[in-house]
Amino acid sequence: MGRDVAKGAFSREDRIRYRQKVRRCLDVFALMLDDFGFDADRPTTGLEIELNLIDGAAEPAMRNAQILADIADPNFQTELGQFNLELNASPRLIEGSGFADYEQDLRDSLGRANERAGRSDAAIILIGILPTLTERHLVLDNLSTNERYRVLNEQIVAARGEDIELDIRGVERLQTHTDSIAPEAACTSLQFHLQVAPDSFANYWNASQAIAAVQVAIGANSPFLYGRQLWAETRIALFEQATDTRPDELKAQGVRPRVWFGERWITSIFDLFEENVRYFPPLLPICEEEDPAEVLHGGGVPTLGELRLHNGTVYRWNRPVYDIMNGRPHLRVENRVLPAGPTVVDMLANAAFYFGLARDLAEGDRPIWSQLSFSAAEENFHAAARRGIDAVLHWPRLGDVRATDLVLDVLLPRAANGLDRFGVAAEHRDRLLGVIEGRCRTGRNGAVWQTEAVWAAERHAGLDRGAALHDMLRRYGELQRTNEPVHTWPVE
């Protein structure tokens, strides 16, 4: 939901008109799926990375507006918290040396941004949850100044009608309340975009759902929140709870949450947009002047603004995207399950694993989703978020299997095959998938390194938890800049 919003009070008429426009957009989208020419000739990919800002004491630095002005690069944008930024990498093909181009582009962009951040006594950190955040940081006053975040906060809190409860039970337990969505700003993610044709979208979305758990298990990097060790990927639980518009009574009735894994395999992208309209009331009922039916009948490309805005306020872990580029519409799967970091090479290894595996499974002879129940895929997802690289997952024909064994024995070869279909050069394929293999063989991802470093600081250096977290984060920042994969980082 990246568009600017300048309106905070919505009338009954606004909501009625918006609902009508969303449904009209949905009807037009159905017509387009039947006979419109979507851009799908060559599958373009994209990356979005949410960043954290820290000061010299490893505390969150509430300076994103100042730093963004100094960076002066349209690929960088604000995010929810004043200690956040977002980097949108330029879309590209991954065939040949595409991953190497991504790596050079990201390292250059982050290097320039970090240099500009240094002018404001800040530094950029790529991590799922900033471990030095406390409740005093995640308050309404620390949201970014862009009005859309204030309006979104007002609408979510008003829809819930009471404070938002956070209750995360992991290695330790966090139980607290908040009167705003500010804790959501702690969740900094890595998002992959994969352009697909309309007739293959369902296969790619289903494949992405099936492997979401494996991605999280291998890529977890968010073990701490408010000084407590919780889940390996605490970001999953925090995001689900911090944006929940349902009071307890609606949860008991089975009303669906806005952060949603989903409830079934699909046969068309239309299924997902139709579910959005059927299940979720609008948060931001803002209408545009366009009549999508008139545009379509006149031979144009409708923007479907209301449908896209509504889709941006339903936070699926794999989100459908309709967009227009150079006058042609296209469809994308937006994969949102992973945290940022630890390094650029780690993130690109995660990207190679996802893109390759999704393609191989989507184009396989026997779909994995015909063998794995949707409920099992969801249970796998939350088991992976809790346990990370030590998770045990359910997989067809294997039963319950350690995530690392599943990756090493079954999924890495399939990811390699998928990257070959994309035309990725063998040297880049092997280097990046080798990082995934290294994590599995050492049993160490970002979450494991963070917890081991904190334990070492507490037990060997005698630091209390707060001091240990600050010490760990400073070392994390130093090691991040080496661009060596996290499974090779020393703990002490």
- pLDDT tens by residue, 403-445: 999 999 999 999 999 999 999 999 999 999 999 999 999 999 9
Distance CA 240, CA 336 (A): 13
What pLDDT does residue 5 have?
52
Mean pLDDT for 9-38 is 92
* pLDDT value at 321 more than 50: yes
Tokens of 372: 């794995």
Mean pLDDT for 77-82 is 94
- pLDDT tens by residue, 224-283: 999 999 999 999 999 999 999 998 899 999 999 999 999 999 999 999 999 999 999 999
The amino acid at residue 56 is: G
Distance CA 415, CA 394 (A): 19
Up-side HSE of residue 231: CA atoms within 13 Å toward CB?
A: 26
Q: How far apart are the first and last CA of the chain?
A: 41
* pLDDT value at 129 more than 80: yes
Q: What is the mean pLDDT of the chain?
A: 95
Query: For the chain, how are helix, strand and coil distributed in percent, rounded to 5?
Result: 50, 15, 35
